[in-house]
Amino acid sequence: MKTTYALTLDDVKHIATAAEAEARACGWAVSIAVCDAGGHALWLQRMDGAPLMSAAVAPEKARTCVLSGKPSKTYEDMVNNGRIAALAMPVVPLEGGEPIFAEGVVIGAVGVSGVKAGEDAQVARAGVAALGRLVQERQVA
């Protein structure tokens, strides 16, 4: 048996708040999704003005990360570099998904959709980074 970590609702709200703040600071309207280690949705929000499809794509980007333990950009790069067989994998090969790790184990992921791929990833990374800062604060307290 081993001890594992799991995201709490407070963690997820913290991630989503930071991701939304990053998107707003940049003037972007996006959908933000957070999933657990099983790829199940814990959070989904579509900001006013975000494309309708982004609410379907963001959770799939997050799920891609928990299935693989890698940013979803990994699969976009594979396809763009000619490995079209990657399209048959059960992942969404679009940048904008970032995994969340605790002690080297994937415990969830953030997926963002609605703007350019690199911008989606920037917003997702802001959410992940905010959780990292929160964990550090808890350890100091």
Domain 9-140 has CATH 3.30.450.150: yes
Q: Where are the beta strands (DSSP E) in 19-68?
A: 31-36, 41-46
The pTM score is: 0.95
The pair of structure tokens assigned to 51 is 């494309």
Residue 132 has pLDDT above 70, yes or no: yes
Supply the DSSP symbol for 113: E
User: How high is the pLDDT of residue 46?
Assistant: 98
Express each pLDDT in 19-57 by its tens digit.
999 999 999 999 999 999 999 999 999 999 999 999 999
CA distance readout (Å), 68 to 21, 24, 25, 62: 27, 29, 30, 10
